[in-house]
Every structure is written in C-alpha cells, then in structure tokens.
Amino acid sequence: MKLYKAYAKVNIFLKITGARGNYHEIISRFMRVDSLYDELSFVSKNRDDAFKIIGEFSCKTEQNTIYKAYIALLDSLDETPAKSLKNLMDKYAVEVKKNIPAFAGLGGGSSDAATFLKMCNEVLDLGLSQNELALIGLKVGADVPFFIYGYDSANVGGIGEVVEEFKEELLDFEIFTPKIEISTPRVYRAYRENFYNPIDGFEVEKLKKTPSLDILKKMSADEANDLFKPALQEYKELKSYYKYGYYFSGSGSSFFRVKERKQ
C-alpha cells in the first residue's frame, strides 16, 4: 500500500487577535517543515471489526486524532460511502511511523488526522473537495485545515478555519524539542488570565504581508509568539532550554531557527 507523508509545521509568528467564547482567535503564519514528517499507510489486519492504529502513541485509540478524523468523516458521509469507509477500516489498520514529537507545537496530531482524511478520500474515491475535507478536519482540531490544503506557507486566522496561502520560498529549519509535555489549553488559559493583549487589525494586515524570513529577522521569540511568555510561566523548566536566535512554535515545547545556508 502507498506511503503517505504527514508533515510537521512551525509557527513563524502567532498573535492573538481576540476571543470567541472559550476559544482564542489568532493570526499565524504556518510553514511546512519538509524534513520532518510521520509516515502513514494502510496495512492488512485480522478482520476483528475494531478500528486499529499501529504505532507508538501514549493515548487510547478513541483519543487519537486519526480515530477522531475517522468518526468525523463517517458522520459526514451518506450511507453508501460510509459503508465503504467502514469496510476499508474492517480490512485495514492505519500504520503510523511517528517522527514528529507529541505535545511539541509542531502539529503532528493534526497532520496525521489531515493525512488520514486525504488517504480515505483518495483510496475510496469519495470525491470530497479540499474545502469539504477542511470542514471535516476542523471538527478534529483547529490546525487540521492547514494540513488538508498542503500549502508550503499560509496565513491562518480565526480559530484555524481561515487558511490563506502565502507564496514564499520554503525555509529549512533546525528544530529541537525538550522533553516537556505541554498542555495547549493550560498555556492559553495562562495567556488569557495574565497576558491578554490582542493586536489590532492594522498590525494583522502588516504581519500577513510580511515574508517569514523578514519576520524572523525583526522579531524576538516573545514578540513573534504571544504564547511564549505564558508557556514560560506555566513550565519554568522551558527557560533553561531557550537559546538566543531560536523561536517558539505554537504552544511549545519546540524551538526552531532557520538553518544557515552553506556558501
């Protein structure tokens, strides 16, 4: 069976623009990391009728983003394609070779979910458009639509549902991830309680038009990512891992910088 790559992402910048109920609205530049990806494939299994994921995961199957994507896809399909999807997952397990660290701000779970949706769409010839897949993916997680569209770089807004391609050269990143499991809800809660300071529309428009390399040259780690300070507050051990010139991805715990080009 074909092997599918689920790429990681970094947040070049991540700024809060407001709140929507319990959610925070953001503007962020997501960029795909070509050198880091999980590998997904369908593999034959014993027909035990249970949805099966093969791979190194610390969570139960029901908590896995791939399983959540399966349920979201199933709920969105008419009777005949839904039956085809059930039959597919009766015969095959999803094998995942995990390379993207979990709880790292690199979008591994979201990318796996998006890749699974695209795999099902292709293998079963469901004929779902990217927009339709993105809406299904949004039920799984806010970052999933970006991975559905597969852009090199994009401005992501709202709670993650607004994805606008940003045409620029893909950068090559050096990434390191401390072994700290960060809770995204905890970091956002700390932001709201102690650091809440949304940027205005003028600043949003300016950031959306600025190339990623320019942003990384002009901004420090905490200027580029509104979640860096709250993450440091909640996870004090993070500070010992921070190195000058590196940036913070998502709610962490990964740090990244652009690799220097060899002359």
Return the structure tokens found at 121: 């769409």
Question: Which residue in the list 75, 143, 208, 217 is annotated as catalytic?
Answer: 143
- The answer to whether residues 180 and 237 touch, using CB atoms and an 8 Å cutoff, is yes
Return the structure tokens found at 47: 């027909």
Distances (CA, A) of 246 to 83, 228, 242, 258: 48, 12, 7, 8
Considering Cα of 157, then 163, then 168, then 173, what sign does the dihedral take? Answer: positive
Cβ of 181: how many Cβ atoms within 10 Å? 13
SS3 158: strand
Cβ of 243: how many Cβ atoms within 10 Å? 9
49 is catalytic: no
SS3 76: helix
143-177: string of b/e by CB count within 10 Å (b at 16+)? Answer: bbbbbbbebbbbbbbbbbeebeebebeebebebeb
Question: Which residue in the list 2, 9, 34, 83 is annotated as catalytic?
Answer: 9
Return the structure tokens found at 58: 């610390």
The distance of Cα 66 from the centroid of its chain, to the nearest Å, equals 13
Determine if the peptide bond prior to 253 is cis (ω within 30°).
yes
Residues annotated as catalytic (active site), given as ranges: 9, 143
